[in-house]
Copies of this chain bind each other. A is one copy, B any other.
Amino acid sequence: MPELKYAPPLKYDVVGIGNAIVDILAQAEDDFLRREDIHKGSMTLIDAARAADLFDKMGPTTTVSGGSAANTVAGIAGLGGTAAYIGRVHDDQLGKGFAHDMKALKIHYPTKAATTGAPTACCIIMVTPDGQRSMNTFLGASTDFSVGDVDEDTIASSQITYLEGYLFDKPPAQEAFYLAVKLAHKHGRKVALSLSDGFCVDRHRAEFHALLKQGVDILFANEVEAMALYEKNNLEEVLPLIADACPLTIITRGEKGAYILNGERTFTVHAEPVAKVVDTTGAGDGYAAGFLYGLTHNHALPDCGRIASICAAEVISHLGPRPQTNLQKLVESKMGGAFSKAS
Protein backbone atom coordinates (compact mmCIF):
# COMPACT_ATOMS: atom_id res chain seq x y z
CA MET A 1 0.00 0.00 0.00
CA PRO A 2 1.55 3.37 -1.03
CA GLU A 3 2.30 5.74 1.81
CA LEU A 4 0.22 8.88 2.18
CA LYS A 5 2.09 11.96 1.01
CA TYR A 6 -0.15 14.36 2.94
CA ALA A 7 -1.47 14.81 6.47
CA PRO A 8 -5.23 14.20 6.38
CA PRO A 9 -7.41 16.42 8.59
CA LEU A 10 -8.95 14.93 11.72
CA LYS A 11 -12.36 13.55 10.77
CA TYR A 12 -13.16 10.75 13.23
CA ASP A 13 -12.99 10.33 16.98
CA VAL A 14 -12.23 6.65 16.66
CA VAL A 15 -11.61 4.07 13.95
CA GLY A 16 -12.27 0.52 15.05
CA ILE A 17 -10.42 -2.38 13.43
CA GLY A 18 -11.70 -5.88 13.98
CA ASN A 19 -13.51 -8.99 12.85
CA ALA A 20 -16.71 -7.90 11.08
CA ILE A 21 -19.25 -10.33 12.50
CA VAL A 22 -22.99 -10.84 12.48
CA ASP A 23 -24.32 -12.16 15.78
CA ILE A 24 -26.95 -14.88 15.92
CA LEU A 25 -28.24 -15.04 19.48
CA ALA A 26 -30.51 -17.47 21.29
CA GLN A 27 -31.46 -18.18 24.86
CA ALA A 28 -30.02 -21.45 26.17
CA GLU A 29 -30.08 -23.34 29.43
CA ASP A 30 -26.82 -24.20 31.22
CA ASP A 31 -27.48 -27.85 30.38
CA PHE A 32 -27.20 -27.01 26.70
CA LEU A 33 -23.73 -25.51 27.21
CA ARG A 34 -22.60 -28.59 29.10
CA ARG A 35 -24.03 -30.93 26.48
CA GLU A 36 -22.36 -28.99 23.68
CA ASP A 37 -19.12 -28.51 25.60
CA ILE A 38 -19.33 -24.73 25.27
CA HIS A 39 -17.12 -22.81 27.67
CA LYS A 40 -19.44 -20.41 29.46
CA GLY A 41 -18.56 -16.73 29.16
CA SER A 42 -15.82 -17.26 26.59
CA MET A 43 -15.27 -16.95 22.86
CA THR A 44 -14.50 -20.17 21.00
CA LEU A 45 -13.45 -20.29 17.36
CA ILE A 46 -15.47 -22.78 15.32
CA ASP A 47 -15.49 -24.01 11.73
CA ALA A 48 -18.36 -23.91 9.23
CA ALA A 49 -19.53 -27.45 10.05
CA ARG A 50 -19.74 -26.71 13.77
CA ALA A 51 -21.52 -23.43 13.03
CA ALA A 52 -24.14 -25.28 10.99
CA ASP A 53 -24.51 -27.90 13.72
CA LEU A 54 -24.89 -25.33 16.51
CA PHE A 55 -27.34 -23.26 14.46
CA ASP A 56 -29.42 -26.36 13.93
CA LYS A 57 -29.54 -27.08 17.66
CA MET A 58 -29.94 -23.56 19.02
CA GLY A 59 -33.20 -21.89 20.08
CA PRO A 60 -35.13 -19.18 18.22
CA THR A 61 -32.66 -16.63 16.90
CA THR A 62 -32.17 -12.90 16.92
CA THR A 63 -29.80 -11.62 14.25
CA VAL A 64 -27.93 -8.36 14.71
CA SER A 65 -24.62 -6.88 13.63
CA GLY A 66 -21.82 -7.54 16.09
CA GLY A 67 -18.03 -7.69 16.13
CA SER A 68 -16.23 -6.28 19.13
CA ALA A 69 -14.62 -3.15 17.67
CA ALA A 70 -17.66 -2.64 15.42
CA ASN A 71 -19.92 -2.62 18.48
CA THR A 72 -17.64 -0.04 20.06
CA VAL A 73 -17.77 2.35 17.12
CA ALA A 74 -21.54 1.83 16.96
CA GLY A 75 -21.68 3.03 20.56
CA ILE A 76 -19.51 6.05 19.79
CA ALA A 77 -21.81 6.97 16.91
CA GLY A 78 -24.79 6.51 19.23
CA LEU A 79 -23.24 8.99 21.67
CA GLY A 80 -22.99 11.56 18.88
CA GLY A 81 -19.33 10.92 18.12
CA THR A 82 -17.74 10.43 14.72
CA ALA A 83 -16.45 6.98 13.89
CA ALA A 84 -14.95 4.79 11.21
CA TYR A 85 -14.55 1.04 10.90
CA ILE A 86 -12.24 -1.34 9.09
CA GLY A 87 -13.24 -4.99 8.89
CA ARG A 88 -13.99 -7.58 6.26
CA VAL A 89 -17.39 -9.00 5.25
CA HIS A 90 -18.47 -11.00 2.21
CA ASP A 91 -20.98 -9.47 -0.20
CA ASP A 92 -23.76 -11.80 1.00
CA GLN A 93 -26.98 -11.25 2.95
CA LEU A 94 -25.29 -11.06 6.38
CA GLY A 95 -22.54 -8.83 4.99
CA LYS A 96 -25.07 -6.50 3.40
CA GLY A 97 -26.86 -6.21 6.73
CA PHE A 98 -23.60 -5.45 8.51
CA ALA A 99 -22.70 -2.74 5.98
CA HIS A 100 -26.22 -1.33 6.16
CA ASP A 101 -25.93 -0.89 9.90
CA MET A 102 -22.60 0.92 9.54
CA LYS A 103 -24.15 3.25 6.98
CA ALA A 104 -27.26 3.78 9.13
CA LEU A 105 -24.99 4.87 11.99
CA LYS A 106 -23.07 7.21 9.66
CA ILE A 107 -19.88 5.27 10.36
CA HIS A 108 -17.26 5.62 7.62
CA TYR A 109 -16.64 2.06 6.40
CA PRO A 110 -14.03 1.96 3.63
CA THR A 111 -13.47 -1.84 3.55
CA LYS A 112 -14.89 -3.36 0.35
CA ALA A 113 -17.02 -6.48 0.75
CA ALA A 114 -15.31 -9.60 -0.65
CA THR A 115 -16.97 -11.22 -3.65
CA THR A 116 -14.94 -14.43 -3.47
CA GLY A 117 -13.92 -16.66 -0.58
CA ALA A 118 -15.64 -17.43 2.70
CA PRO A 119 -19.05 -16.02 3.73
CA THR A 120 -19.46 -13.21 6.26
CA ALA A 121 -18.35 -14.17 9.76
CA CYS A 122 -21.02 -15.10 12.25
CA CYS A 123 -21.00 -15.58 15.97
CA ILE A 124 -23.44 -18.06 17.45
CA ILE A 125 -24.16 -16.77 20.92
CA MET A 126 -25.90 -18.67 23.68
CA VAL A 127 -27.39 -16.50 26.41
CA THR A 128 -28.03 -18.37 29.65
CA PRO A 129 -30.73 -17.38 32.17
CA ASP A 130 -28.10 -15.51 34.24
CA GLY A 131 -27.54 -13.19 31.26
CA GLN A 132 -24.05 -14.54 30.56
CA ARG A 133 -23.11 -14.95 26.90
CA SER A 134 -21.02 -17.77 25.41
CA MET A 135 -19.74 -17.05 21.93
CA ASN A 136 -18.91 -19.45 19.09
CA THR A 137 -17.29 -17.62 16.23
CA PHE A 138 -16.98 -18.75 12.64
CA LEU A 139 -14.51 -16.19 11.27
CA GLY A 140 -15.45 -16.65 7.61
CA ALA A 141 -14.49 -13.65 5.48
CA SER A 142 -12.70 -12.07 8.48
CA THR A 143 -10.01 -14.74 8.25
CA ASP A 144 -8.55 -13.04 5.21
CA PHE A 145 -8.14 -9.67 6.90
CA SER A 146 -4.65 -8.47 6.02
CA VAL A 147 -2.43 -5.43 5.58
CA GLY A 148 -4.21 -4.66 2.32
CA ASP A 149 -7.35 -3.81 4.32
CA VAL A 150 -5.61 -1.28 6.57
CA ASP A 151 -6.69 2.09 5.22
CA GLU A 152 -4.03 4.67 6.07
CA ASP A 153 -6.21 7.63 5.21
CA THR A 154 -8.89 6.55 7.70
CA ILE A 155 -6.34 5.82 10.44
CA ALA A 156 -4.59 9.14 9.85
CA SER A 157 -7.99 10.91 10.08
CA SER A 158 -8.91 9.33 13.43
CA GLN A 159 -7.87 10.53 16.89
CA ILE A 160 -7.74 6.97 18.15
CA THR A 161 -7.25 3.67 16.33
CA TYR A 162 -9.01 0.99 18.38
CA LEU A 163 -7.92 -2.61 17.88
CA GLU A 164 -9.70 -5.68 19.19
CA GLY A 165 -7.53 -8.50 20.50
CA TYR A 166 -9.64 -11.09 18.68
CA LEU A 167 -8.03 -9.98 15.44
CA PHE A 168 -4.82 -11.59 16.69
CA ASP A 169 -6.27 -15.02 16.05
CA LYS A 170 -5.03 -15.10 12.44
CA PRO A 171 -1.40 -14.38 11.41
CA PRO A 172 -2.19 -12.10 8.41
CA ALA A 173 -4.37 -10.02 10.73
CA GLN A 174 -1.48 -9.73 13.21
CA GLU A 175 0.61 -8.07 10.53
CA ALA A 176 -2.28 -5.72 9.83
CA PHE A 177 -2.41 -4.94 13.53
CA TYR A 178 1.24 -3.89 13.63
CA LEU A 179 0.83 -1.83 10.48
CA ALA A 180 -2.20 -0.03 11.95
CA VAL A 181 -0.23 0.85 15.10
CA LYS A 182 2.68 2.11 13.02
CA LEU A 183 0.45 4.25 10.82
CA ALA A 184 -1.51 5.75 13.72
CA HIS A 185 1.70 6.79 15.46
CA LYS A 186 3.26 8.06 12.24
CA HIS A 187 0.35 10.50 11.98
CA GLY A 188 0.57 11.48 15.65
CA ARG A 189 -2.61 9.61 16.59
CA LYS A 190 -3.23 7.30 19.53
CA VAL A 191 -3.73 3.53 19.66
CA ALA A 192 -6.17 1.70 21.91
CA LEU A 193 -6.29 -2.06 22.35
CA SER A 194 -8.83 -4.40 23.90
CA LEU A 195 -7.59 -7.76 25.18
CA SER A 196 -11.01 -9.22 24.22
CA ASP A 197 -10.98 -12.62 25.97
CA GLY A 198 -8.96 -14.59 28.50
CA PHE A 199 -8.35 -17.53 26.19
CA CYS A 200 -7.43 -15.16 23.38
CA VAL A 201 -4.79 -13.69 25.71
CA ASP A 202 -3.57 -17.22 26.51
CA ARG A 203 -3.26 -17.95 22.80
CA HIS A 204 -1.32 -14.77 21.99
CA ARG A 205 0.33 -13.64 25.22
CA ALA A 206 3.76 -13.00 23.69
CA GLU A 207 2.29 -11.05 20.79
CA PHE A 208 0.20 -8.90 23.14
CA HIS A 209 3.30 -8.07 25.21
CA ALA A 210 5.20 -7.24 22.03
CA LEU A 211 2.41 -4.97 20.89
CA LEU A 212 2.32 -3.21 24.26
CA LYS A 213 6.08 -2.62 23.96
CA GLN A 214 5.62 -1.22 20.47
CA GLY A 215 3.34 1.37 22.02
CA VAL A 216 -0.31 1.02 22.99
CA ASP A 217 -1.63 4.28 24.46
CA ILE A 218 -4.89 2.98 25.93
CA LEU A 219 -5.56 -0.59 27.06
CA PHE A 220 -8.92 -2.16 27.92
CA ALA A 221 -9.04 -5.46 29.79
CA ASN A 222 -11.35 -7.19 32.17
CA GLU A 223 -9.99 -8.83 35.32
CA VAL A 224 -9.61 -12.25 33.74
CA GLU A 225 -7.78 -10.90 30.71
CA ALA A 226 -5.48 -8.71 32.81
CA MET A 227 -4.53 -11.67 35.01
CA ALA A 228 -4.08 -13.90 31.95
CA LEU A 229 -1.70 -11.38 30.42
CA TYR A 230 0.69 -11.77 33.37
CA GLU A 231 -0.28 -15.34 34.28
CA LYS A 232 -1.25 -14.29 37.79
CA ASN A 233 -4.24 -15.27 39.89
CA ASN A 234 -4.35 -12.05 41.84
CA LEU A 235 -5.47 -8.78 40.29
CA GLU A 236 -3.62 -6.68 42.91
CA GLU A 237 -0.31 -8.06 41.68
CA VAL A 238 -1.18 -7.26 38.09
CA LEU A 239 -2.19 -3.62 38.57
CA PRO A 240 1.34 -2.16 38.96
CA LEU A 241 2.66 -4.30 36.09
CA ILE A 242 -0.05 -3.26 33.69
CA ALA A 243 0.18 0.39 34.78
CA ASP A 244 3.87 0.25 33.85
CA ALA A 245 3.15 -1.35 30.47
CA CYS A 246 0.63 1.22 29.24
CA PRO A 247 0.06 4.92 30.05
CA LEU A 248 -3.71 4.48 30.42
CA THR A 249 -5.34 1.16 31.30
CA ILE A 250 -8.96 0.47 32.11
CA ILE A 251 -9.68 -2.76 34.01
CA THR A 252 -13.37 -3.60 33.96
CA ARG A 253 -14.76 -5.72 36.77
CA GLY A 254 -18.40 -6.35 35.87
CA GLU A 255 -20.83 -5.30 38.58
CA LYS A 256 -17.87 -4.29 40.77
CA GLY A 257 -17.08 -1.37 38.47
CA ALA A 258 -13.68 -0.56 36.99
CA TYR A 259 -10.18 0.69 37.73
CA ILE A 260 -8.63 3.42 35.63
CA LEU A 261 -4.84 3.31 35.87
CA ASN A 262 -3.06 6.41 34.61
CA GLY A 263 0.61 6.50 35.63
CA GLU A 264 0.66 7.06 39.38
CA ARG A 265 -3.06 7.70 39.53
CA THR A 266 -5.77 5.09 40.03
CA PHE A 267 -9.47 5.92 39.81
CA THR A 268 -12.21 3.59 40.94
CA VAL A 269 -15.46 3.79 38.97
CA HIS A 270 -18.72 2.21 40.08
CA ALA A 271 -20.86 0.13 37.76
CA GLU A 272 -24.17 1.64 36.73
CA PRO A 273 -27.04 -0.30 38.34
CA VAL A 274 -29.13 -2.46 35.99
CA ALA A 275 -32.66 -3.66 36.82
CA LYS A 276 -32.04 -7.02 35.13
CA VAL A 277 -28.98 -8.28 33.28
CA VAL A 278 -30.55 -9.76 30.14
CA ASP A 279 -27.47 -10.41 28.00
CA THR A 280 -23.87 -9.42 28.65
CA THR A 281 -22.95 -9.65 24.94
CA GLY A 282 -21.13 -6.44 24.03
CA ALA A 283 -20.77 -5.18 27.62
CA GLY A 284 -17.03 -4.54 27.26
CA ASP A 285 -17.51 -3.07 23.79
CA GLY A 286 -20.11 -0.65 25.11
CA TYR A 287 -17.81 0.24 27.98
CA ALA A 288 -14.97 1.03 25.57
CA ALA A 289 -17.37 3.10 23.45
CA GLY A 290 -18.32 5.32 26.37
CA PHE A 291 -14.75 5.66 27.57
CA LEU A 292 -13.29 6.51 24.16
CA TYR A 293 -16.10 8.95 23.47
CA GLY A 294 -15.30 10.66 26.76
CA LEU A 295 -11.56 10.75 26.03
CA THR A 296 -12.03 12.23 22.58
CA HIS A 297 -14.46 14.84 23.93
CA ASN A 298 -12.24 16.20 26.68
CA HIS A 299 -13.90 14.58 29.66
CA ALA A 300 -11.91 13.94 32.83
CA LEU A 301 -10.97 10.29 33.35
CA PRO A 302 -13.57 9.57 36.07
CA ASP A 303 -16.27 11.04 33.80
CA CYS A 304 -15.03 8.86 30.94
CA GLY A 305 -15.56 5.93 33.31
CA ARG A 306 -19.04 7.11 34.20
CA ILE A 307 -20.09 7.48 30.54
CA ALA A 308 -18.62 4.02 29.92
CA SER A 309 -20.58 2.47 32.79
CA ILE A 310 -23.85 3.97 31.56
CA CYS A 311 -23.24 2.63 28.04
CA ALA A 312 -22.34 -0.84 29.31
CA ALA A 313 -25.45 -0.89 31.51
CA GLU A 314 -27.63 -0.07 28.49
CA VAL A 315 -26.07 -2.85 26.42
CA ILE A 316 -26.57 -5.58 29.04
CA SER A 317 -30.19 -4.65 29.70
CA HIS A 318 -31.36 -6.18 26.39
CA LEU A 319 -30.56 -8.99 23.98
CA GLY A 320 -27.79 -8.08 21.52
CA PRO A 321 -24.45 -6.29 21.66
CA ARG A 322 -25.28 -2.80 20.41
CA PRO A 323 -27.24 0.01 22.03
CA GLN A 324 -31.00 0.03 21.43
CA THR A 325 -31.56 3.37 23.13
CA ASN A 326 -30.51 6.87 22.14
CA LEU A 327 -27.24 6.78 24.12
CA GLN A 328 -26.69 10.52 23.89
CA LYS A 329 -30.04 11.26 25.56
CA LEU A 330 -29.51 8.45 28.08
CA VAL A 331 -26.12 9.74 29.24
CA GLU A 332 -27.40 13.32 29.29
CA SER A 333 -30.31 12.26 31.47
CA LYS A 334 -27.90 10.62 33.93
CA MET A 335 -24.99 13.09 33.91
CA GLY A 336 -26.68 16.32 32.86
CA GLY A 337 -24.32 19.24 32.28
CA ALA A 338 -21.25 17.15 33.13
CA PHE A 339 -21.85 15.31 29.86
CA SER A 340 -23.22 17.93 27.50
CA LYS A 341 -20.86 20.80 28.37
CA ALA A 342 -17.59 19.01 27.78
CA SER A 343 -18.98 17.16 24.75
* A residues neighboring B (CB under 8 Å): 26-27, 55-56, 58-65, 74, 93-94, 97, 100-101, 104-105, 129, 275, 278, 318-320, 322, 324, 326
Residue of B nearest to A96 (CB): B55
Q: Give the residue of B26, B65, B101 whose beta carbon is less than 8 angstroms from that of A104.
A: B26
A104 touches B319 (CB 8 A): no
Closest to A129 in B: B326
Chain B residues, CB < 8 A from A58: 104
Distance of A74 Cα from B101 Cα, bound (Å) = 28
B320 lies within 8 A of A62 (CB)? yes
Report how many copies the assembly holds: 2
| A64 and B61 form a contact (CB under 8 A) | yes
Q: Please indicate the chain B residues that have their CB under 8 angstroms from the CB of A319 in the complex.
A: 318-320, 324
A55 and B55 alpha carbons, distance in the complex (Å):
26
Q: How far is the CA of A63 from the CA of B100 in the complex (A)?
A: 13
Residue in B closest to A101 when the chains form the complex, CB atoms:
B60
Task: Quote the shortest CB–CB distance from A67 to chain B (angstroms).
Answer: 13
Known: A318-B318, A318-B319, A319-B318. A61 touches B101 (CB 8 A): yes
A97 and B62 CA atoms in complex are apart in Å by 10
10 closest cross-chain pairs (CB), A and B: A63-B63, A60-B101, A93-B93, A59-B104, A60-B104, A62-B64, A319-B324, A318-B318, A60-B105, A61-B101
**B93:A60 contact, CB within 8 angstroms:** no
Interchain CA distance A65-B62 in the complex, whole Å: 8
- Counting chain B CB atoms within 10 Å of each CB, the highest count among A27, A60, A93, A101 belongs to A60
Could you name 14 residue pairs across A and B whose Cβ atoms are closer than 8 Å? A55-B100, A59-B104, A60-B104, A60-B322, A61-B97, A61-B101, A62-B62, A62-B320, A63-B64, A63-B97, A93-B93, A275-B275, A278-B318, A278-B324
- When C-beta atoms are compared, the residue in chain B nearest to A107 turns out to be B60
